[in-house]
Amino acid sequence: MEWLTQSLYPRLKPYLRWLVMGVVGFFLLQTLSSHWSEVLTLQLEGGSGLKLAIALVLTLLAHIWSGWVWGWILQTLQYPVTAQWSIRVYLLTNLAKYLPGNVWHFYGRVVAAQRQNVPLAIATLSVLLEPLLMVAAALLLTLLLRPNLYLALQLPILIGVLIAIHPRFLNPLLRAASQIKGRLKGLPQAGYSLPTITHYPLKPLAGELIFLLLRGSGFVLTLLVFQSLTPNQLPLLLSSFCLAWLLGLVIPGAPGGIGIFEATILSLLQPQWSPSVILATVAVYRLIATLAETLGAFLAWLSQKRFSF
């Protein structure tokens, strides 16, 4: 078994990535070819331009907010940074998630944090905690909005993540990282220590809930361009968005969740909405999301040129 994980899996990993992308791509192309004529006949609802503009603003605000929340995570780890710095670095590195490997945005944040005299172990833990908190937030919202949606699968995962981010588990992880770093530097254990996390990261967790609500609101507004909604449809729509976004975050081989999000949202919403409406919505929403990330990176670059924090 050890030989299998150490020798065989690294060889198969690139092929597994392409397998996932191939299956997802085949599903999306098949659905698109079957319903393309219906997509072309869709009529736009009134005020579509304004709705798309608000969706873009909300999505941009979500990324700005997420950068602020990353600063809260560093504060929880007892290395506070300014909100301007964390937002700027977050936005500048965000587009790197579309590069092969899907880790370069994390690497950029770790390097930037080290330049702020944040220890490598703290910087690394901060970018690992962020997706964990996002996973917990997505599962919480999904279960609150639609409790019967894969409850037996989601609830144990949620409980496991909430336990994993408890200081009782994070502090031993930090101590282990401190000891390893100390040995690498040739320092005695007492001479290289990191602070202890004193409280549960409730504030960053609440921040990730707001982040997802902002992203979900942008998706709802995009769908409203093609079809009107009733209030009782919102829980289904938002919970499906959270679950699809979550799978796009955690499934490897899909930079930025491309393909995974679209395929999942199609399978979850087809009973309530026509495939043509969903296809049009996810295509426009992907464009809005990418545009918001690009605009955020540009604004952060302008801020970097004009100010130094």
Q: Tens digit of pLDDT for each residue in 210-267?
A: 999 999 999 999 999 888 888 999 999 999 999 999 988 887 655 555 678 888 888 8
Find the range with the poorest average confidence among 73-87, 258-272, 284-298: 258-272
**Which of helix, strand or coil describes residue 44?**
coil
Confidence of residue 84 (pLDDT cuts 50, 70, 90): very high
Name the residue among 107, 134, 110, 106 with its Cα closest to residue 201: 134
Confidence of residue 6 (pLDDT cuts 50, 70, 90): very low
Q: Does the structure show a pLDDT above 90 at 178?
A: no
Tokens in use for 242?
A: 């959270």
Average pLDDT over residues 145-158: 83
Q: Which residue has the higher pLDDT, 171 or 231?
A: 231
Tokens in use for 137?
A: 């937030």
Predicted local distance difference test score (pLDDT) of residue 234: 93
Distances from the Cα of 119 to the Cαs of 114, 115, 179, 279, in angstroms? 6, 9, 13, 45
Confidence of residue 191 (pLDDT cuts 50, 70, 90): very low
Q: Are 101 and 119 in contact (CB under 8 A)?
A: no
Average pLDDT over residues 187-206: 72
CA distance 124 to 79: 13
Q: Are 228 and 277 in contact (CB under 8 A)?
A: no
Q: Does the structure show a pLDDT above 50 at 188?
A: no
Tokens in use for 195?
A: 């602070």
Please report where in the chains the tokens 């006949």 appear, as a residue. Answer: 41
Name the residue among 224, 184, 193, 179 with its Cα closest to residue 55: 224
Confidence of residue 207 (pLDDT cuts 50, 70, 90): very high
Predicted local distance difference test score (pLDDT) of residue 64: 96
| pTM across the whole model | 0.81
Q: Which residue has the higher pLDDT, 238 or 35?
A: 238
Find the range with the poorest average confidence among 113-117, 122-126, 169-173: 169-173
DSSP state of 42: P
Average pLDDT for the chain: 80
Predicted local distance difference test score (pLDDT) of residue 180: 54
Predicted local distance difference test score (pLDDT) of residue 57: 96
Predicted local distance difference test score (pLDDT) of residue 300: 92
**Which of helix, strand or coil describes residue 193?**
coil
Tokens in use for 173?
A: 């992880």
